[in-house]
Structure 1
Amino acid sequence: MSLVTPARPMLSGPTRVPTASRLSVAALAGAALLLTSCGTGVQDADGDAGSDDVGASGGAAASVDVALENCGQNLEFDTAPQRVVGMSPAQTELLVRLGQGDRVVGVAQTASSELPEEVSAELEEAEELSEDRPPSREELLQVEPDFVYAPTSYEFSADQGFASIDQLEEAGAASYIATGGCFERRSEGTVEDLFTDIENLGEILAAEEAAEEIIDDGRGRLEDAAELSEGSEPLSVAQVYVDGDTLSAVGGGVEYDIIAQAGGENVFSPEEDQFDSLVFAQISAEELSARNPEAIVFGAEDAAHEEATRKYLTENHPEIEAVQEDRLISVPNHQLLPGSLQNIDAVERVADGLYGG
């Protein structure tokens, strides 16, 4: 197993959540509609469906012949990884649903969201490496991984004390970054990037059949969500994040595409100068008022943050149509992590809030 050309590190941007990789300030979209509630069975590494049996791999490492590009680095595998680490709950869940539960030796940033019970049940042997931030280099290397899956480039920032891609390579571990979390694609990321990741991981982990089933289910759910807006005039939407009295807007990235997938039209655009370098930008209350969106999607860290955001918008913007119509759609921040199955939950949540009646 070899890899070259390390990817460039990336900072995700400020949020109220403790870890920078949990989303940029624009963490918007989707409610907790777990994949399991939508009929997707968990599968073993050979792609065999099992009702609730997650991660039934094992035995000798499968031979693979995989060469692909990921976030500026070329990855090559001749055997499937056997000691994998999920650098956030979203990445850990996807690994388990691909049948790798018994190969997960470490999980990180565990405080960002809870895993479904049947997924957690398959991680009894996995070591918790960190809660509120990526693990340090020493914490990660102590579990001797041979494959590390992260939501963004930030998790490999050596200047933050984390293991860099080069350092992991020296230790015999390959690194994979969710496509939507690549530095080069952060502002252009889409929900479709998730399917690229699932397909790539299926090949790397010798779990192609499981990957295909997850992809088919995800695409079907997106089609169902898109049907909610059929025959309706698209609603204008502002994506915002409120931190105290600070207001920020989203104008790019996976967050932006989720609005489009749900049938909304974002009143902010990646073409605007304020989104040149980041997918979010601090805005004034007057600017939000001038855009007068018909709906507002906002990221929420928890129930208290959701309540505080609703209060802020209601008290400070009674003139905006979205407030007058009570079309304020809350989304858990963690559902916007690049490479997360919950990106699909986010689309469903927003589409229902816009057109579900």
Structure 2
Amino acid sequence: MRFTHALTVLAALCLSATGCGGPSPRSASTAPPIAPGHPVTITNCDRTYTFDRAPSRTVLMSGGAVGQVSSLVALGVEKQIIGNAQSYGASDVPGRAEAIDRLPKVKIQEGGWDISREGMLSLRPDFVIGTTGYDFDARNGYATRQELLEVGANTWLPDSTCGGPGTVRGTQTIEDSYDMLRDFGALYGVGGRAEKLVERSKRRIAEIEARVRGGSRPKVMYIIPGMEMGAAEFSSIGANGIWNDIFEKAGGVNAFGGVTDEIFANLSKERVAKTDVDAVVIINWRNPDPDAEATKLFTQFPQWRAAKDKRYVVLSDSAYLGPDNAVAVEKIARMLHPERF
């Protein structure tokens, strides 16, 4: 995942509101049945899309993310996925990484981070899910949203990252995860499942918030070792993202939340050393030994309270937009306020 990129056909079914401009290559006998609640119209990134049927040929772009594919797996619609480029190889939910690994994989373009335009069109998708606007930027070699729409494929992005990481619309919160689940639930005809996931998450987070209410608010670092989001030595420190909401609900605060308007801070070792850090969240992104990364940080910054107390937790997909933010909230809360559990 590198947010300097950051972070690609013929469709079997015409799904756009304006039509595809040509006949569908899929015959009526092989078209998927109309799902409950369809047609569904959504507005995504200021564009309107109408789904006459549930997507049956879904492709997930990478963008370095995993929350979108996790959401589809949690909703039980894996069979509608024909190509997946999202994988951390790790998950905070038992069995999730293995379920994602079983999905049909797609080839990432050589020297790039996602599916090339030619590769995408050859898949004949009817629905393409991205992570940021970069996933549909022709300058990166990817199929644009308009190109995909013209061949019958609707697209979806988180509304907060429509234009790419450099043009973020506000800071993501856990509510954005719920919005994504509800969107996917409606599109795939499993709105009831989506609502159950949302309500279960809300209930658990409310229980955790009640436990930590009134306590101290330790300063937490969020870092993805091995990532390069900029030129500075520490360019993968989370500054403004969904993790800020997760920290707040877990009874903490982002130690680097105000240092930049970007999603990730791009900091020198000297700047990091001057910041008080009480605890660390290590994000495991294809890392063979994330615990060693915590040891490395504590060796570099022994003055931190986090280093003195060896206070850290390793997370992966639950700390991103997705269906499992309650897992991250609970694990961080237990790290920060063990006496409350």
Per the normalisation by structure 1, the TM-score is: 0.73
Deviation (angstroms), 1:59: 5.5
Tell me if the contact between 2:298 and 2:304 (Cα under 8 Å) persists in the aligned partners: no
1:42 aligned partner: none
1-structure distance, mates of 2:95, 2:265: 36
Tell me if the contact between 1:96 and 1:119 (Cα under 8 Å) persists in the aligned partners: no
Q: Which residue of 322, 336, 341 corresponds with 2:306?
A: 322
Is 1:283 the counterpart of 2:267? The answer is yes
Deviation (angstroms), 1:94: 1.8
Q: Which residue of 251, 273, 277 corresponds with 1:293?
A: 277
Deviation (angstroms), 1:111: 5.5
DSSP 3-state at the match of 1:109: coil
1:347 aligned partner: 329
2:182 aligned partner: 199
| C-alpha distance 302-351 of structure 1, shift in aligned 2 (>3 A) | farther
The sequence identity of aligned pairs, in percent, is 26
Deviation (angstroms), 1:163: 1.6
Deviation (angstroms), 1:285: 3.1
Q: Which residue of 28, 33, 41 corresponds with 1:67?
A: 41
1:79 aligned partner: 53
Deviation (angstroms), 1:328: 2.3
Deviation (angstroms), 1:341: 1.8
1-structure distance, mates of 2:290, 2:315: 8
Which amino acid counterpart does residue 270 of structure 2 have in structure 1? E
Deviation (angstroms), 1:204: 1.9
Cα shift readout 1:128-162 (whole Å, capped 9, x = no counterpart): 11368322122222221111122322322222222
1:255 aligned partner: 243
Which amino acid counterpart does residue 166 of structure 1 have in structure 2? Q
Deviation (angstroms), 1:116: 6.1
Is 1:130 the counterpart of 2:72? The answer is no
1:41-52 correspondence runs (5 A) = none
2:212 aligned partner: 229
DSSP 3-state at the match of 2:142: coil
Tell me if the contact between 2:54 and 2:189 (Cα under 8 Å) persists in the aligned partners: yes
2-structure distance, mates of 1:141, 1:113: 29
1-structure distance, mates of 2:303, 2:97: 45
Tell me if the contact between 2:233 and 2:269 (Cα under 8 Å) persists in the aligned partners: no
User: Structure 2 regions of 5+ residues with no counterpart?
Assistant: 8-30
Tell me if the contact between 1:239 and 1:297 (Cα under 8 Å) persists in the aligned partners: yes
| C-alpha distance 356-71 of structure 1, shift in aligned 2 (>3 A) | farther
1:153 aligned partner: 133
1:69-218 correspondence runs (5 A) = 69-88=43-62, 89-110=66-87, 113=90, 117=95, 127-130=104-107, 133-183=113-163, 184-185=167-168, 187-218=170-201
Over the residues paired in the alignment, what is the CA RMSD in angstroms? Answer: 3.2
DSSP 3-state at the match of 2:295: helix
Which amino acid counterpart does residue 314 of structure 1 have in structure 2? F
Deviation (angstroms), 1:213: 0.9
Which amino acid counterpart does residue 172 of structure 1 have in structure 2? G
Tell me if the contact between 2:182 and 2:195 (Cα under 8 Å) persists in the aligned partners: yes
Deviation (angstroms), 1:211: 1.2
2-structure distance, mates of 1:111, 1:243: 13
Deviation (angstroms), 1:12: 6.0
User: Structure 1 regions of 5+ residues with no counterpart?
Assistant: 1-10, 22-57
DSSP 3-state at the match of 1:128: coil
| C-alpha distance 336-123 of structure 1, shift in aligned 2 (>3 A) | closer
Compare relative contact order (CA 8 Å, sep 6+) and give the higher one, 1 or 2.
Answer: 1
Which amino acid counterpart does residue 251 of structure 1 have in structure 2? A
Deviation (angstroms), 1:112: 5.1
Cα shift readout 1:305-333 (whole Å, capped 9, x = no counterpart): 5244223222221111111111123333x
DSSP 3-state at the match of 2:247: helix
| C-alpha distance 207-336 of structure 1, shift in aligned 2 (>3 A) | same
Deviation (angstroms), 1:209: 0.9
Which amino acid counterpart does residue 127 of structure 1 have in structure 2? P
| C-alpha distance 122-316 of structure 1, shift in aligned 2 (>3 A) | closer
Cα shift readout 1:29-79 (whole Å, capped 9, x = no counterpart): xxxxxxxxxxxxxxxxxxxxxxxxxxxxx9512261433221232222333
2:10 aligned partner: none
Give the number of the structure whose residues are more often strand, by fraction. Answer: 1
